[in-house]
Amino acid sequence: MSNTVIVLDKNGLQRLSEHYAASRVVRNAPGVVFAAKLPDTAITAYKSGKVLFQGAGAEREAANWGVTDNKLFPEKVKVKGDALPDRLAELSVLGSDETGTGDFFGPVTVAACFVRADQIELVRELGVKDSKQLTDDWMRKIAPDLQATLIHSVLTLPNDKYNEVQARGWSQGKIKALLHNQALKHVLRKMDGERPDYILIDQFAERGIYYNHIKAENDIIRENVLFSTKAESLHVAVAAASIIARVAFLEEMDRLSALAGITLPKGAGPKVDEVAATILWKHGEDTLKSMTKWHFANAQKAKALVAKKK
């Protein structure tokens, strides 16, 4: 499917709406101010002034109105991983990403999200871009719309379960691979027979290592799977998955903070050691362990800080 985007001012949007009035259709999606359906082209106009033309006649119709906004498709970034198909950003993609792996407090969280080609511009209108460029507050704001609009799955691994399997010798790579595979399976089941053009996983391990981690699974997702670093910059499906995963992580951090009676810091730096020591001193080792990745060095550092107080 051909996709073309232009940007119009308020008067331009009004002229476009009047021109296609006879072909108008109802499209109840966030940010949409006008939509029309021609025999070979779907037209969607957004509050921001962007107008998306989709279909065989997309370029023909767009040429009547303005200059293409090439920002629909990300600029090329340096990535590692599989060779990627041309214009991947235009295709229907199921993407997955994870968060929380480098944080002492809180869970590992993985999300998978499917974005059809005809939803790409809508997802951008909802505020999605590379999640590394978004604040936690902004992600909290836009995540509900993404969850309501897109087929997705989010998995949050409780800290006690994480500590249990890690103590049995599971690496973080294995844990993440199993969660990614599970989240992808969940979304594919929800898609009711529809299939993405590709599945894009934000790469944290080489393909062979990833599949070795999950080789014992009964159902392994392999068809049209691509691995790439910086995948959230390559397709909005991965960026949306990253946001949904991040917000699930933040919500669990909120819950754990309420239990601890203190705001839990992210990451694994000195501030984390201090807060961990406070929890250890007030509530004991079992409580601290229940909300952390216990094999991190922060656990021993917190114990050392408490020892100094005694």
118-175 tens-digit pLDDT = 899 889 888 886 556 678 898 999 999 999 999 999 999 999 999 999 999 999 999 9
Between CA 156 and CA 260 the distance in angstroms is: 19
96: helix, coil or strand? Answer: strand
The C-alpha atoms of residue 288 and residue 24 are separated, in whole angstroms, by 58
CATH of domain 3-72: 3.30.310.10
Range with the poorest average pLDDT among 5-9, 32-36, 282-286? 5-9
Say if residues 106 and 253 touch (Cβ distance below 8 Å). yes
Enclosing H/E stretch for 278: helix 270-283
Query: In the block, which residue shows the tokens 């082209």?
Result: 41
Q: Which CATH number fits domain 88-255: 1.10.8.60, 3.40.50.1100, 3.30.420.10, 2.130.10.10?
A: 3.30.420.10
Residue given tokens 């006649």 in the structure block = 57
In this prediction, what percent of the chain has a pLDDT beyond 70?
Answer: 93
* SS3 label, residue 99: strand
pLDDT single digits (tens) 198-239: 999 999 999 999 999 999 999 999 999 999 998 998 999 999
- Location of each CATH 3.30.420.10 domain in the chain: 88-255
Of 298, 246, 256, 18, nearest in space to 135 by CA: 246
pLDDT for 4: 79
pTM score over 0.75? yes
Which regions of the chain carry the CATH code 3.30.310.10? 3-72
